[in-house]
Each structure stands twice: as C-alpha cells, then as structure tokens.
Chain A
C-alpha cells in the first residue's frame, strides 16, 4: 500500500523529470557523468541517495524491486531502502534476482546473470574515477573532455613498479566504448567483467556528488590494464562452504577465535538458489 502522504515514489514530478532527463543523457553518452540537481532524501548522503533517486525516477507500479547491499538482501541498509520503496511506491519486492525487474545494489553485481529488460541501479559514493589522483572537479572535467587519462595510467604503472601488479581490488576503473574512463562504483574487480555486454541496463547514481551515468545494454566496457599486466578478476581461492559454488564472489567469515574461517557466497540469493537445487559445500550440511 502506498503512503498517501507522499507522491508516487516520494519525489515530486518536477524532480523526477529533472532526474529522468539526466538519465537519458547518461544513456546517450555512456560512461559520462551527467550533473543533476540531487535532492536531499530522507536517508543520509552516502547511504544510497543517488541510487534511491534513480530508482524513484525509474519505478513503475508494476515493478518487482530487489535491493542488495554487499550482495545480500537482508543487510540493514538494503532492508531500509526496500522498505522505503514499499512504503512510498507500493511496489512488489523480491529477493530472487531473476524475478526482479529493477535491482538497486551497493558494491556488487549479482552472480546470477541478468537478463534483457532488467535495470541494475548502482549506489555510487565517488563517481569520479580520477578523484583520488586529482581532487579538483575543474581539472578532472578537463581531463575527461580531452580524453587525457595519462594520470590514471601513470598510477596503475606505479603500482606495477612497486608491487608487481595493479594494487586496486575494488572500484577498479574501466573504459566505456573506448571513450570515457568510468568508476564502476566500489564493486570488487571480480565483478568488472559483468559490466560489459550485459543484457541489462545499468544506471549509476551519486547523490552527494550530484552525478548520474549509465551503461546501456550491450555496451563495451574494458577494465584498464597493460598488455604485459592484463586485468585479472580475482576472488578468494575457495569454493563456497555452503553451496560449493566456485564461480561466485566469496565473503570470508571468522567462525571461532582459533583462526577458523569459512567462505560463503556474498550473493545470498545465488547461494540459496544453489542450495535449494541440492548443491552442498564443505560445511553445508551443518549450517543453517
């Protein structure tokens, strides 16, 4: 049931139009960060206000919404955002990736493949991939304009010189359609390959930083690397201890004070689905 005190999906119509126009510009210029007049939302900046505004601008009453944080549906902030949209938009919700029409996520791309017609909305803290190399917006905007990404390559190269490899494990920068360097939000680099050629539409919202950007379906996205140091998506070198998946991103869980650990899927829906289908991991029998 929608809360009648608020407009459908909370935002007023003029605000939604402004956000919708920004989303369309983002779609037209993949990877380019479109400035938008982000509104104060009833949750703190840094807690998904950008994603929430993008989701609010996209939702229709018939949507089935899934909200995940760290891959899980039941983390507190995911619960809070899901509840918000149930209240102000009256939409149906689901935890099943395949059933969702719109998925709002923080820090993960689901391990279940997305399909055509789905929209994945990312919460983005710092949309500017060059920000930690050059703090000034006035400078980074110029770099994007001139396609001057030398600073980024220097940084990655220095990593290799010092560590023998690129020491960036999440928010790993990508290049979109051979034009804009883009921050994929703080997803682990394991997820980077899923950005490219996805059948789903991917939208990125940064509320505090007032930016929206997009990857239309089937957009070509490349993780930055060097010929002699190719990009390697990595994860813990284990199988899930609950569902035995070897192709999913794993969280490490400390299970006792003797150094005991287990590795479990970060994507709870993916893991649950596999266990329901009869897959059992190393500790799957005894876990609840």
Chain B
C-alpha cells in the first residue's frame, strides 16, 4: 500500500457524508437532477463524485466490484483503507463501479429477490459528462418528465420491466452525480 491510499478521504466524515448522502438521496429520489458533491480525492481514474459516493455508502458490510480499469491497485488500496469494503466478483457485489462499457453485461449484478427486492446491486457508472439531454425519464420522483444523457436505453427499459427487481444506478462525472432508480421509465428521444 502506498501513502496515496491513505489520503483523499473525508476531512470531517460525519458532516461530509451527511452532505453527500443528501445529494445522493436527492439524485435517486428525483431522477434526472444533477447535483454537485465534494470532499473526496480518490486516485485516478475515479471521479470525485464516485469517490464521494463510495466513502458515503460502502463499508465492511458491502461487497464492492471494481470493473475494467477501475480494478487497479491504487483504487483497491484506497477503498480498502477508507472503507474496508471487500472486493468481489460482479455477482456478489452490493455496489459496482466502472464505466458503462466496463459494467457489461449488467445482468450479472444482483437484481434482488422476489420477497426481498432490496437485495440488489447499486451501479456507480462513470461518465465523461452529465447533462439534461437525451433520454426521456418518467416515473416516481419526476413531476412531468426529465432528461438525462444515459449511456443507453434498452438496458434501463429491461431493468424497469423487472420491477420491483432490478438494479439502481448513480451516474458520476467529475464532481457531479445523477440517479436512476429501477422505478424510472426510460424512452429514447
């Protein structure tokens, strides 16, 4: 483990994670909203926003899957030091981190059980940028409709079709996050 792994955590964890959670809560309960978060300095290639989500939501009780080039020594060490989260294969993960391409096929991730739909994976999808363009979102949390530049549409439509099973997703780019719960209807536009 390098010294870098010890750095980049929350300076004041109770306050920083409270702010970060509130942003995550807003993002997931109002799909399409883009929010800024701050406080984490994870190693490359991880965005600040993804780092903030990890520090806020994962710990020794939540297995994490690192996909593609996110499965690197620097991130493994950083995550282990700051959260103690076990690193696991996709099937066993409570959280998964990577680009949309890295995370394919997303059917590998836990979708929940018919009697416990909460036992599902949350994907943290790293993006180049977030914007309120592209796919049209409707459903809980959205007054009329919202727009978000999703990486694709079919996978999220398939995910919605399995409701109440399915995965939930956060999209991250730089210091921005947006959320897409399994309850959202997605249409191409």
Contact = CB atoms under 8 A, between A and B. Distances in A.
The reply, when asked whether chain A contacts chain B directly with Cβ atoms under 8 A, is yes
A61 B115 contact: no
Given A20-B56, A25-B118, A8 B29 contact: no
Contacts of A7: 14
B183 to A, nearest CB: 6
A88 to B, nearest CB: 11
Contact of A27 (B62, B163, B181): B181
B1 interface: no
B21 A20 contact: yes
B25 A58 contact: yes
B29 A214 contact: yes
A248 interface: no
Given A7-B14, A8-B14, A216-B141, A24 B168 contact: yes
Given A20-B56, A24-B28, A216-B30, A60 B140 contact: no
Contacts of A26: 118
A59 interface: yes
Nearest to B31: A216
Nearest to B167: A28
A180 B140 CA distance: 13
Nearest to B18: A60
Contact of B117 (A13, A16, A32, A219): A32
Contact of A145 (B25, B115, B139): B115
Contacts of B143: 199, 217-218
A50 B51 CA distance: 29
A17 B141 contact: no
A14 B17 CA distance: 11
Interface in B40-96: 56-59, 61-62
A27 B139 CA distance: 12
A8 B19 CA distance: 12
A177 interface: yes
Interface of B: 13-15, 17-19, 21-22, 24-26, 28-30, 56-59, 61-62, 114-118, 120, 122, 139-143, 163-164, 168, 181-183
30 contacts: A13-B14, A16-B14, A17-B17, A20-B24, A20-B57, A23-B25, A24-B24, A25-B120, A25-B168, A27-B181, A28-B168, A28-B183, A29-B117, A57-B21, A59-B18, A60-B15, A60-B22, A61-B15, A142-B115, A144-B115, A145-B115, A199-B143, A214-B29, A216-B140, A217-B29, A217-B30, A217-B143, A218-B140, A218-B141, A219-B141
Given A24-B122, A34-B118, 13 more contacts: A7-B14, A22-B118, A24-B24, A27-B25, A29-B182, A29-B183, A30-B183, A32-B117, A180-B164, A216-B29, A216-B140, A218-B143, A220-B140
